[in-house]
Structure 1
Amino acid sequence: MLRILTWNIQWGLGIDGAVDLDRLINEARAIADFDMLCLQEVSDNFPDLKGNDGGNQFAEIARLLPGFTAVEGVALDAPGGGRGRRRFGNMIVSRLPVAQVLRYTLPWEAAATRNMPRLLLDVVVETSSGPLRVMTTHLEYSSDTLRRAQVEGIREAHRTATERHLMPRENGPGTYALYPTSPSAVLTGDFNMRPDDPVKQRISEPFSTNVPDLVDAWQAVHGSKAHPPSFCLFDQSNGSPHCCDFIFVTEDLAPKIRTISYDQESQASDHQPVLIEIDI
């Protein structure tokens, strides 16, 4: 069985105003003995973020999870005012062997609202059933236009990865070597959309080719039952409690989902972690 936990960690800032990565990782471990941890809002050299000491959280999280492979998905990479680069983005930490890693910069259209670069991190892991692609992302908060474009970027990344797998390709030396991949995939993250948003539903629309659809895992298990809230549960400064964190699986994996759950207790971030268990 494969256990994947996804969590927007808000750089470790808890509801109590304290940044504490040790607490966060301990709570993640208490939720499940996860095989993969997909994180959003990981920071490096951002001392101006609330409660943050400016440390390299990518390195710190890797240190807290010995025996795991830590893969960085830096979306924002900017000058750090003499302190090195400032970096912000996603991360996947895996106990399973990691094969090829791809990082897709999502479309960044012009928008008058505050916004930043966004990225889709795509990690191929070796499971007992063969290769599996696990992706995580964090879409724009303040612009529907940007989210629409980013969803199309995710769909293109999934389409091209599947078609590369299906089309025989010449092997080659060095950088042209072939690496394992798969049309089967799990997509996780903070999508900054509610379940009924048409842009969120666009993720699951059929492809025109033999690319497997991306199915909302909660709906695959629970049908029309409402998603539990994953944001604003303990702090309503950004609205009433609602769900904007989702896990999608390709349609071949949907019957293999054993459980999907939204933790409603943790206050280690302003988002709630989401766990999926898949028989694989």
Structure 2
Amino acid sequence: MTKPIKILSFNIQSGMGMDNRRSLSRIAWVIKCSGADLVGLQETDKYMKRSCFSSQARKLARLLGMHYVFGGACKPAFFSRFGNTILSKYPIKGHKNTLLPGTGEQRALLDVLININNKKIRFCNTHLGLSTSSRQKQVNKIIELLGEIQLPTILTGDFNTTPNDPVIEQLRACLERKSVSTESKNNDLKTYPSDRPSEKLDYIFLSAHWKEICQTTLPGQASDHLPLLAAARFIS
């Protein structure tokens, strides 16, 4: 495959922008303009009052003409959910959502199998906890779930921590064995807050099956996080 795959990770804060206006159309426009083929979204609502009881994942998929899977983490009340979403231009062949250990707000890992031109890839998306102890437990579980990485694998998410946290190095070591990656050059890609970015909290990790071409952030204030965009090719 010669055409790079574009991957986006974006904490959309349920569509709430820095202007305190909730707009999924604005989020969809950001995703469309990015040209992303695969998208990992954090903080998406399903049937919650604040987002007019809509399924944000389904609405974004319809606006963008993409396949989607939603994985709930928190359960505020009744049928409402709050969690992670994966959008894909390519067919989704299977998915699994696993709740992660830790205290405070419930977290989860959404694990999806995608068919890209008859090549299977694994795309995982998560949003880690706020405390150091919770993040460590969650990363340990994610590494366990990833297991022996045989398929080309992508892990996106809001990890709620900076690049010098040992858990980030653990994930990088797990996924990037013998990989060709520019991640070490991209530790200065600040993603939060979107109006004055001062911290890198959002990451895209690639397994050794990929050659990363670049990573960049996209400007804008559609959420409190900036979108993080990567381009990569399969290593033949």
Q: Normalising by the residue count of structure 2, what TM-score does the alignment of the two structures yield?
A: 0.89
Q: Deviations over 1:81-137 (max 9, x none)?
A: xxxx120000001111211212121123xx4xxx21111111111123721101110
The 1-side partners of 2:187 and 2:136 are apart by 23
1:156-213 per-residue CA deviation (whole Å, 9 max, x = no partner) reads 01116x4xxxxxxxxxxxxxxxxxxx432010000001011112222123xxxxxxx3
| 1:232 partner SS | coil
Rate the CA distance shift 1:144–1:234 in 2: closer, same or farther, 3 A: same
Partner AA of 2:151 in structure 1 = P
- Equivalent positions of 1:1-280 (< 5 A) are 1-31=4-34, 33-47=35-49, 49=50, 52-66=51-65, 68-80=66-78, 85-108=79-102, 111=103, 115-128=104-117, 130-141=119-130, 143-159=131-147, 162=149, 182-205=150-173, 213-215=174-176, 220-221=181-182, 223-224=184-185, 226-234=187-195, 241-253=198-210, 256-263=211-218, 265-280=219-234
Bigger-Rg structure (1/2):
1
- Report the RMSD for the aligned CA atoms in angstroms: 2.1
Letter in 1 for 2:115: E
Distance 2:183 2:159 in 1: 20
Query: Is the alpha carbon distance of 1:39 and 1:130 closer, same or farther for their aligned partners in structure 2, counting shifts above 3 Å?
Result: same
Q: Is the 8 A contact 1:137 1:188 kept in 2?
A: yes
* 2:81 partner letter: R
Greater strand share, structure number:
2
Task: Say if 1:61 and 1:224 are closer, same or farther in 2 by CA, change over 3 A.
Answer: closer
Gaps of 5+ in 2: none
What displacement does 1:62 show? 2.4
The offset of 1:225, in angstroms, is 5.5
CA distance in 2, matches of 1:90, 1:223: 26
State, as a whole percentage, how many aligned pairs show the same letter.
Answer: 30
Give the distance between the partners of 2:10 and 2:186, measured in 1 at CA.
22
Q: CA deviation at 1:245?
A: 0.1
User: Taking structure 1 as reference, are residues 119 and 248 closer, same or farther at Cα in structure 2, changes over 3 Å only?
Assistant: same
Structure-2 separation of matches of 1:225 and 1:15:
25
Moved over 2 A (4+): 44-47, 52-56, 77-80, 222-227
Note the residue ranges of structure 1 that are not aligned, 5 or more in a row: 163-181, 206-212
Compute the TM-score of the two structures, normalised by the length of structure 1. 0.76
